Structure 1
Amino acid sequence: MGVVVVTGASGGVGRASARAFAARGDRVALLARGEAGLRSASREVEQAGGRALPLEVDVADFAAVDRAASRVEAELGPVEVWVNTAFSGVFAPFDEVSPEEYRRVTEVTYLGFVHGTRAALDRMKPRDRGVIVQAGSALAYRGIPLQSAYCGSKHAIQGFTESLRCELLHDSSGVRVTMVQLPGMNTPQFDWVLSRLPRRARPVAPIYQPEVAARAIVHAAGHPRRREYWVGGSTVATLLGDKVAPGLLDRYLARTGYRSQQGERRRDPDRPANLWSPADEHRDFGAHGRFDRTATRRAVQPWASRHHGLLGAVGAVGAGLLGAALARARH
């Protein structure tokens, strides 16, 4: 039973992860902005068998994150695992996103991870132990249309984490940092992220339940020597396909990326958006989004993460198949 900090813990993957750690009997600090979401997430942690410490924090504010970390250690004990999942975004073409909105997404989604990592390292390095888990995304490797600010932030997290990992190895540090790369998830984000799309935003299929990601994050926290874990089995071939046929995936996504990220129903212009203030301040959205009927609770992770050699061979074959499929789609 250890001390775990989860950012973005009031909803989605963060909330599912907090419950998963609590099921092990961990003491879990929940960092998020929304009071109602935090209150319900805290209750779920206690019901799952853990001890909860809910803290209202905007991860874009490093001083606030650092104060929260100090309070966690004072009330729960030394932080052993820090999980960064908090993010925000805007669904819109790049030129329809204001500079202020772009900056805010970057501050929350990228710098929020930097701030959490710094707060964790400042406490873990003197003890020479601890694990930091970054909730990444397949979009850290492959940008898609309509999410340029989010994709840019995920790319930045990837580069930042790789750099930090090298520094920790140079120092022979006992602190470990790993990433869990996620596919499309059934989380409330598609009902509260700022959108200027004509129809309701949706994740690109296949869609996974947040509990799938939570299991991967808990696994990564217990096995942090691997640099990254992948959730979902379709990403490797796609990424390799982009290397095999440069530019082809760009053209394919230009044709399909707008349609695949929108549902049939029109977007409600009055729905809440969490870019500047929490959408779950007065209403709890829970961990799941509105895609329960199509989301799966199963994934090939962590098996795939333990068999990179075989996966690479399969991915190489898949890349060729993907290239052929995209070529057919172009004609």
Structure 2
Amino acid sequence: MTGASGGIGRATAVELAARGGTVALLARGRVGLEAAARDVEAAGGTPLVIEVDVSDADAVEAAAQRVEDEAGPIETWVNVAFTSVFAPAHDIAPDEFRRVTEVSYLGYVYGTLAALKRMRPRNRGVVVQVGSALAYRGIPLQSAYCGSKHAIQGFTESVRCELLHEKSGVRITMVQMPAVNTPQFSWVLSRLPRQAQPVPPIYQPEVAARGVVWAVDHPQRREWWIGASTAGTIGLNAVVPGVLDRYLARTGFDSQQTADPRPPDQPANLWSPADGPDGRDFGAHGIFDARAHSHSLQAWATRHRRALLVGAGAVGAAVAAAGASARR
């Protein structure tokens, strides 16, 4: 689990720990990692803490080998780690774009390659890429992040085709997320005048974590969407992208900022972890608990779609039978 010290990665690690077994926690911040390890233990799992910057391919490879040496074969690899910059594109420096790309896109590439190196010879294993509706639809103030998510989608599609070509038993799938109440809005480098926020509706990280775990168990599906807003955004972008361009040009700046000014002392995790030696544990949740949904009807319906289809068929058959009986 990369990005395991906070947000979706932290929540997913706990969700997986409830099944028992070892959960390898990969991230940069020691404070957050140690707290995540305690959460994993409390949930019933065995943590393996590894400090690593996923932008370093050699370090990711070494982390993967350590997991195999200390915990056994890697069965599931989940890529979550990212960083970004909240600002208009013209206010983001070239080295900042490069850093976001190295972490948020190449980090996924390096993690995937390290996993495949071990999974392909065994002909089994699952790689899950935690994505976003923004892998399909770019929005203002998040050009670096959206570019990385688009790149991950293209990379994943290519790898999936290659695995299918060789008839591999290894599976790779992507989970596209909605706006989630994670600590990123308190630690991503921001040049916005006001406090950054997720675009409502906002979901709790546990909703996202349940979606990731479902994808781990059902990797045969190429992609999973979490939240009605994700489905709506991707669907509308496929049909009327120009309309969304104009809508987001009008609403995308205000909808991503609260009414409060950005805290002048807000940390930034672009170059070093916000939960560093003198930092604090940010946990899985951000600062929007009061506005975040703990459940997603769309995600629940997706997980239970077969039962719903069977039920709908049974109801339809009963109605048809009743109608035929009435006509007689």
TM-score (structure 2 length as normaliser): 0.90
**AA in 1 matched with 2:274:** A
Note the 1:14-25 alignment, pairs <5 A: 14-25=9-20
Give structure 1 stretches of 5+ with no counterpart.
1-5, 312-331
**AA in 2 matched with 1:23:** A
Give the CA deviation at 1:302: 4.8
The 8 Å contact of residues 163 and 170 in structure 2, kept in 1 or not, is answered as yes
- Which residue does the alignment assign to 2:294? 297
The 8 Å contact of residues 229 and 302 in structure 1, kept in 2 or not, is answered as no
Aligned partner (choices 246, 267, 282) of residue 285 of structure 1: 282
Give the CA deviation at 1:247: 1.1
SS for the counterpart of 1:40 is: helix
**AA in 2 matched with 1:301:** A
Q: Note closer, same or farther for the CA distance 1:186–1:279 as it changes in structure 2 (3 Å cut).
A: same
Q: Note closer, same or farther for the CA distance 1:185–1:85 as it changes in structure 2 (3 Å cut).
A: same
Note the 1:226-245 alignment, pairs <5 A: 226-245=221-240
**AA in 2 matched with 1:298:** H
- Which residue does the alignment assign to 1:137? 132
Which sits farther off after the overlay, 193-202 or 229-238?
229-238
Give the CA deviation at 1:268: 1.5
Cα offsets for 1:112-165 (capped at 9, x unmatched): 000000000001011000000000000000000000000000000000000100
SS for the counterpart of 1:293 is: helix
Q: State the distance in 2 between where 1:128 and 1:302 align.
A: 31
The 8 Å contact of residues 176 and 230 in structure 2, kept in 1 or not, is answered as no
The 8 Å contact of residues 139 and 154 in structure 1, kept in 2 or not, is answered as yes
Note the 1:1-331 alignment, pairs <5 A: 6-281=1-276, 282-299=279-296, 300-304=298-302, 307=305
Give structure 2 stretches of 5+ with no counterpart.
310-328
Q: State the distance in 2 between where 1:222 and 1:24 align.
A: 12
Which sits farther off after the overlay, 279-288 or 294-303?
294-303
The 8 Å contact of residues 195 and 258 in structure 2, kept in 1 or not, is answered as yes
**AA in 2 matched with 1:27:** T
Q: State the distance in 2 between where 1:187 and 1:143 align.
A: 20
Give the CA deviation at 1:39: 0.5
SS for the counterpart of 1:268 is: coil
Q: Once superposed, what is the RMSD of the aligned Cα atoms?
A: 1.5
Q: State the distance in 2 between where 1:153 and 1:194 align.
A: 16
Q: State the distance in 2 between where 1:242 and 1:180 align.
A: 17
The 8 Å contact of residues 214 and 303 in structure 2, kept in 1 or not, is answered as no
Cα offsets for 1:209-230 (capped at 9, x unmatched): 0001111111110110000111
Q: State the distance in 2 between where 1:244 and 1:51 align.
A: 46
**AA in 1 matched with 2:87:** A
- Which residue does the alignment assign to 2:325? none
Cα offsets for 1:165-224 (capped at 9, x unmatched): 000000000100001100000000000000000000000011000001111111110110
**AA in 2 matched with 1:207:** I
Q: State the distance in 2 between where 1:95 and 1:117 align.
A: 31
Q: Note closer, same or farther for the CA distance 1:163–1:305 as it changes in structure 2 (3 Å cut).
A: farther
**AA in 1 matched with 2:65:** S
Q: Note closer, same or farther for the CA distance 1:243–1:227 as it changes in structure 2 (3 Å cut).
A: closer
The 8 Å contact of residues 136 and 237 in structure 2, kept in 1 or not, is answered as no
Give the CA deviation at 1:240: 3.0
User: How many residues of Structure 1 are paired with residues of Structure 2 in the alignment?
Assistant: 305
The 8 Å contact of residues 209 and 295 in structure 1, kept in 2 or not, is answered as yes
